[in-house]
Amino acid sequence: MQKFTLRENVAGAFFAALTALLAYLTIPLPGGLPPVTGQSLAVMLAGLLLGARGGAVSQLVYLLLGISGLPVFAGGKSGLTVLAGPTGGFIWGFVLGAYLTGRLTEKHDQLSLLHLTGAAFAGGVCAVYVPGIIQLAYVLELSPGTALAAMLPYLPGDVLKVAVSVLLAAKIRAAVRQSRQ
């Protein structure tokens, strides 16, 4: 097993902290729906900038911080009850989402915006939604179709987060590439 460098450890801690911080960035939705949060933006950026392993570990650290009782989940919540609740699958999905996003981008130094967009959407949206929708349907005893339909109000915000993450990651990746020259 390959060890993490100090730089990778610091970057992972940064993205765990960024995910926690963005959990407090909320946009309320009507009808009693949970708010849109900024967490998945950090998930996408972690994968795009740290790769599969680093991105996934950063989100695992975030998850462990919440399990340990720190109020890092949306709304300042924490604990295993959140992870076992209706929205817990989305938090579990952060690990998978960062991993997939990173896996789709880490082998290439220079990627098109389209490739970065596809990776951010596949990992930061699809890979997060799958376990989230499954757990949402199970806990609330909904049909999978009803649980999927419940996610429709969140898609515009997630598409915006994809765009922001791609633009930020493209700039950061270019700056890192240039600093190596």
Is the model's pLDDT at 90 over the cut of 70?
yes
In a domain, 111, yes or no: yes
Is the model's pLDDT at 81 over the cut of 70?
yes
Whose tokens are 């996934």? That residue is 56
Q: Alpha helix locations (H) across 23-112?
A: 39-67, 80-84, 88-105
Contact in structure between 86 and 135 (CB atoms under 8 Å): yes
In a domain, 1, yes or no: no
CATH of the domain at 21: 1.10.1760.20
In a domain, 49, yes or no: yes
Contact in structure between 68 and 99 (CB atoms under 8 Å): no
Say how far apart CA 140 and CA 171 lie, in whole Å.
41
Q: pLDDT digit string (tens) for 11-37?
A: 999 999 999 999 999 888 777 667 889
Q: pLDDT digit string (tens) for 92-117?
A: 999 999 999 999 998 877 889 999 99
Q: pTM of the entire structure?
A: 0.93
In a domain, 36, yes or no: yes
Number of domains in the chain: 1
Say how far apart CA 62 and CA 131 lie, in whole Å.
17
Question: How many other CB atoms are there within 10 angstroms of residue 88's CB atom?
Answer: 21
Distance of CA 156 to the CA centre of its chain: 16
Q: What is the pLDDT of residue 151?
A: 92
Q: What is the pLDDT of residue 111?
A: 86
* Residue-range definition of the domain harbouring residue 92: 6-179
In a domain, 43, yes or no: yes
